[in-house]
Structure 1
Amino acid sequence: MPETAAAPDIVTCRGERFRLYLSEDEIQTRILELGERIAADYADVGVPILIGVLNGAFMFTADLMRAIPADSEVDFYKLSSYGESKVSSGQVTELKEVDAKLEGRHVIVVEDIVDTGLSMKYVIDQIQTRNPASLRAATLLRKPDAAKVEVRVDYVGFDIDNLFVIGYGMDYGQLARNLRAIYILDREAE
């Protein structure tokens, strides 16, 4: 496997400077820890199904699934609450619902970031109506200070301040999802 270049300390997106916040190594190390915890939690209950929330959680969902050293399945919801903005609109719009049958299944909702909690609550509420055997939530990033609704998250990669982040699936107007690390606005880093 070819070596990849280290993530730059500074990137530019939509004319704004962003500073490295979480490196690729920090992210991958934490995901491996979460994968081990999930495998241990589900060892005696059966195969969990990860429900990733698109678009932002696609990278985290894929890496988390690979980090679980046991069988798991995957499906996706697609929601929108940001649009082109840096701040959640507060309105959750469902663009694609999950295809899998969830009744009697062990479900883990996977988000890239939980800030207001509205998207996670929406998905959890939708899945509850399908009578899963169990329902848990995972997120790579959580912003406790941005919460507008309380939502239980069972697996948290990192708690962060209320900062605007890009990279590792998270975007700024659909750009920067491809970055291997996570960045914050340069002025927020000070």
Structure 2
Amino acid sequence: MKTIRLHDRDFRLLIGAEEIEQAIDRVARQMNKDLAGESPLFIGVLNGAFMFVSDLLKKITVEGTEISFVKIASYDGLASSGNVQNLIGLKEDIAGRTVVVLEDMVDSGESMVYLKRMLEERNPKQVKIAAMFYKPGALRYDLTLDYTCIPLGNDFVVGRGLDYDGLGRNLPDLYTIES
């Protein structure tokens, strides 16, 4: 089994790039159907979602598609800090528009609840949430995920935009921490 070392931890391969790409293809096809005629604004959540945004948006064929980014943070090392901070804000007018938030990972749901509430204050037509990965067993908030690629267990993972103290975001595969 393929393993890597980041800082002081070992990680083993969990999901290969090809499987992740197939899941993103499936979600893109569904979005193209659901969002036809909407001129949606996709909002990527930095830093982690940059790979998901890139991979997904290349497959979105909906006319009038726009992309923007926000940066929020609630992780410190291996665990959520429990404190969501709005670091870089949204400048586009979203009133009356369909907004699709693109997130690398939804686990507790705290960051997405915070961001969705912030966006809804700006009177969009609707806010949808898409997650490349999500941890159903970790969800602690009442949150609907409209599009999901791959469910995971509650283990810490890196790769495909997700990091361990800054390392591993560039990896095309997903790795889990060795116990």
| TM-score, scaled to structure 2 | 0.96
d(CA) in 2 for partners of 1:127 and 1:147? 20
Letter in 1 for 2:171: L
Is 1:179 matched with 2:162?
Answer: no
Is 1:101 matched with 2:104?
Answer: no
Q: What is the Cα deviation at residue 186 of structure 1?
A: 2.1
Letter in 2 for 1:177: R
Is 1:155 matched with 2:151?
Answer: no
* 5+ residue gaps, structure 2: none
TM alignment of 1:15-164, pairs within 5 A: 15-43=8-36, 45-71=37-63, 72-83=65-76, 85-164=77-156
Give secondary structure in 1 for the equivalent of 2:137.
helix
Q: 1:9 aligns with which of 2, 12, 33?
A: 2
Give secondary structure in 2 for the equivalent of 1:170.
coil
- Which string of whole-angstrom CA distances, capped at 9 and with x for unpartnered residues, describes residues 75-122 of structure 1? 111011013x21111110110011211111110011100001000111
Runs of 4+ in structure 1 over 3 Å off:
none
Give secondary structure in 2 for the equivalent of 1:28.
helix
- Which string of whole-angstrom CA distances, capped at 9 and with x for unpartnered residues, describes residues 31-84 of structure 1? 1111110000011x321111111111111011111121233211111011013x
Overall identity of the aligned pairs, in %: 37
Give secondary structure in 2 for the equivalent of 1:156.
strand
Letter in 1 for 2:176: I
Letter in 1 for 2:83: Q
d(CA) in 1 for partners of 2:14 and 2:61? 28
Give secondary structure in 1 for the equivalent of 2:142.
coil
Give secondary structure in 2 for the equivalent of 1:67.
coil
Question: When you count strand as a share of all residues, which structure comes out higher?
Answer: 2
Q: Aligned Cα RMSD in Å?
A: 1.2
Give secondary structure in 1 for the equivalent of 2:13.
strand
